[in-house]
Amino acid sequence: MQVQSYFSGLDTIDGELVTLNLGPTHPATHGIFQNVLKMDGERILDSEQTIGYIHRAFEKLAERRPFYQITTITDRLNYCSSPINNMGWHMTVEKLIGCDVPKRAQYMRVIIMELARIADHLVCNTVIGVDTGALTGFTYMFQERELIYEMFEEVCGARLTTNIGRIGGMERDFTPAFHQKLKSFLKGFPARFDEFTSLLERNRIFIDRTVGAGPIAGERALEYGFTGPNLRAAGVDYDVRVSDPYCSYEDFDFIIPVGERGDTYDRFLVRQEEIRQSLRIIEQAYKNLPIGNYHAEVPDFYLPPKPDVYTKMEALIYHFKIVMGEIPVPKGEVYHCVEGGNGELGFYLVSDGGRQPFRLHFRRPCFIYYQAYPEMIKGSFLSDAILTMSSMNVIAGELDA
């Protein structure tokens, strides 16, 4: 009803405008959200978005959980790159409690986060291919994503909602199987990724479909709060890994690719190049992986080894206090951000000294930049709107909080 009133003031062009419901469960939107489109033939005159179909009240839930239990909530934000969300949250708490993470743990985190970024960008870029009618690249690249998920499994036991790492470092050191899998991935992936690249990057049909689809200018993108690959495709070289380095990102040599027109093709190319840069970062981090501990000595937050819990009184006490959430936390407010798969993922944590946050706000990049979608697709064809949405990499889980 609200939708009708929203459109009632529009001028009709030929008197035969059609209202089209794209979603909430349309296969081409790759998520549960709705777009009510006002169509003149195949052209979009106006659109109205509805989100919130998978609202899970994360911010409310977070006010009733000890810090270590919030990690599993962050998994479910951008579920294509959960490890980045997990690490971002750990770093937020570490900032609050003033914990320095050993260099080895930082490099391990960088390797995991960049693997997650590759997985995230692979999904996005192959799905752009699928939406232009090129399914092949998707089927091949999903095998690569599978290899990345197998590595996650080695580090944390889970694949999609990873709950990876702990406050203070990593939960376990890299296992021998992980080393072997990472080495073979680093060896085999570039060639297979080049195959995918050669299928699409200079493909005439693909270029015809994507160049000029859903463009946005850099200034406009900043007004709308864009971050991440979508902002860089519009020509703004903003990347949290460089502007506010965390986890020793300043140690690595990599470039920030930028586009010019901010259209679907540029977003595709920026993600392609970021995958290559992520590989460079992983290679550097892995080659220079420091020797040392994989977690900080923060007994108040980092669970002791299980054998110690059974045999040592002190370990048992700490284990109990952590699990029961009886650890005092400093008062204060921190904002920490990481470069997620889709842009700046921020955590605003207000602690009043209680054992759970007084307030936790997630800055989800998807939620903020998706509001520009109606403007980006106005006047375009429906098929371009589908492409624009997949190239923006709107993840339903990250619209919510």
Partner 1 sequence: MHLSNDILLAAIEQQLPGVVLSHEESYGMLTLETTREQIIPILEFVKNDANLQVNFLTSLCGIHYPDQPGRELGVVYHLQSMRNNFRFRIKIFFSIDDPIVPTATTVWLAANWMERETYDFYGVLFTGHPNLKRILNVDDLDVFPMRKEYKLEDGTRTDKDDRFFGRDGHEGQLLE
**Binding site residues, partner 1, CB under 8 A:** 2, 51-52, 55, 57, 59-61, 63-64, 66, 95-96, 222-225, 236, 238, 243-244, 324-326, 328, 332-335, 337, 344, 346, 348, 350, 352-356, 359, 361, 363, 367-368, 370-372, 400-401
Residue with Cβ nearer partner 1 (134 or 394): 394
50 within 8 A of 34, measured Cβ to Cβ: yes
Nearest to 167 by CA among 295, 34, 5, 327: 295
| Residue 104: CB minimum distance to partner 1, A | 25
Token pair belonging to 304: 């002791």
Residue with Cβ nearer partner 1 (284 or 393): 393
| Residue 147: CB minimum distance to partner 1, A | 35
| Residue 56: CB minimum distance to partner 1, A | 9
Quote the distance between the C-alpha of residue 64 and its chain's center. 25
Report H helices in 288-338: 306-311, 313-323
Residue with Cβ nearer partner 1 (55 or 306): 55
Rounded to 10°, the helix 103-131/82-97 angle is 150
| Residue 238: CB minimum distance to partner 1, A | 6
Token pair belonging to 212: 């000029």
- Measured CA to CA, the distance from residue 277 to residue 118 in angstroms comes to 9
Residue with Cβ nearer partner 1 (42 or 333): 333
322 within 8 A of 89, measured Cβ to Cβ: no
Residue with Cβ nearer partner 1 (96 or 148): 96
DSSP codes joined into one string, 128-187: HHHHTT-HHHHHHHHHHHHHHHHHHHHHHS-SSS---SBTTB-SSPPPHHHHHHHHHHHH
| Residue 95: CB minimum distance to partner 1, A | 6
| Residue 66: CB minimum distance to partner 1, A | 8
Residue with Cβ nearer partner 1 (92 or 126): 92
Residue with Cβ nearer partner 1 (33 or 268): 33
Radius of gyration of the chain (CA): 22
Residue 128: exposure state from Cβ atoms within 10 A (0-12, 13-18, ≥19): buried
| Residue 359: CB minimum distance to partner 1, A | 5
| Residue 208: CB minimum distance to partner 1, A | 31
HSE at residue 154, side-chain half, CA atoms within 13 A, is: 18
Residue with Cβ nearer partner 1 (200 or 236): 236
